[in-house]
Amino acid sequence: MLLTLDLNDARPLHEQVAAAIRRAIGEGHYVPGDRLPPARDIAAALGINSNTVLRALRELRDEGLLEFRRGRGVSVSARADGRALLRERARELLDEARKYGYRREDLITLIEELA
Amino acid sequence: MNLRTAALPAGAVVAAAVVAPPLALRDRLPDPMAIHWGPGMVPDNAASFSVHLIMMAALWGLLWLGLVAAARRAVDSRPGRVSWWALFSGGALFAILISATTLWANLDAPVWTDARLDPLATAAVVILPLAVAVLSGYLGRGEPDPPAYETQPPRLRLRSGERAVWVSRISNPWPLIISGAGAAVLFVLGTLEMTGFVRMSSIAAVLPALVVVLLVGLFASSLSARVSEDGLVLAFGPFGWPVRRIRLDKIHHAHVEERYPSQVGGWGLRGLPGRTTIMLRGGECLILTYHSGGRLGVSIDDAERGAALINTLIAERTAA
Q: Out of B169, B240, B305, whose CB is closest to A2?
A: B305
Model pTM greater than 0.80?
Answer: no
Asked if the structure places residue A50 within a domain, the reply is yes
Q: How near does any CA of chain B get to the CA of A63, in Å?
A: 23
What pLDDT score was predicted for residue B132?
Answer: 92
The candidate with the shortest Cα–Cα distance to B304, out of B261, B262, B264, B255, is B255
Instruction: Measure the CA–CA gap between B182 and B276, rounded to whole angstroms.
Output: 27
3-state helix, strand, coil in chain B (%, to 5): 55, 20, 25
What pLDDT score was predicted for residue B320?
Answer: 67
Q: Do A3 and B233 touch (CB under 8 A)?
A: no
Q: Do B168 and A3 touch (CB under 8 A)?
A: no
Sign of CA dihedral A27, A32, A35, A38: positive
What pLDDT score was predicted for residue B202?
Answer: 62
Q: Which residues contact B234 (CB under 8 A, 6 or more apart)?
A: B223, B224, B225, B243, B244, B245, B246, B278, B298
Contacts of B169 in chain A (CB under 8 A): 37-38, 41
Say whether B186 sits in a helix, a strand or coil.
helix
**Fold that domain B223-319 belongs to in CATH:** PH-domain like (2.30.29)
Is residue B309 less than 8 Å (CB to CB) from chain A? yes
Q: Do A45 and B167 touch (CB under 8 A)?
A: yes
Phi and psi at residue B85, to the nearest 5°: -65, -40
Domain regions of chain B by residue span = 3-139, 173-219, 223-319
What pLDDT score was predicted for residue B12?
Answer: 92
Residue A84's pLDDT band (cuts 50, 70, 90)? low
Q: How near does any CA of chain B get to the CA of A64, in Å?
A: 22
Judged by phi (left if over 0) then psi (alpha if -120 to 50, else beta), residue B237 lies in: left
Asked if the structure places residue A103 within a domain, the reply is yes
- Write down the ipTM of this complex: 0.73
Of all helices (H) and strands (E), which one includes residue B217? helix B200-219
Instruction: Measure the CA–CA gap between B114 and B29, rounded to whole angstroms.
Output: 11
pLDDT tens string A10-52? 888 899 999 888 888 877 777 788 888 888 889 988 888 999 9
Q: Which domain holds residue A101?
A: 13-114
Asked if the structure places residue A4 within a domain, the reply is no
What pLDDT score was predicted for residue B129?
Answer: 92
CATH number of the domain at A61, please.
Answer: 1.10.10.10
Q: Out of B156, B159, B226, whose CB is closest to A41?
A: B226
Overall number of domains in chain A: 1
Instruction: Measure the CA–CA gap between B291 and B191, rounded to whole angstroms.
Output: 54
Asked if the structure places residue A60 within a domain, the reply is yes
Does A85 have pLDDT greater than 70? no
pLDDT tens string A47-74? 889 999 999 999 988 888 888 888 778 8
Report residues of chain B scoring pLDDT below 70.
Answer: 1, 147-153, 196-205, 320
Asked if the structure places residue A1 within a domain, the reply is no
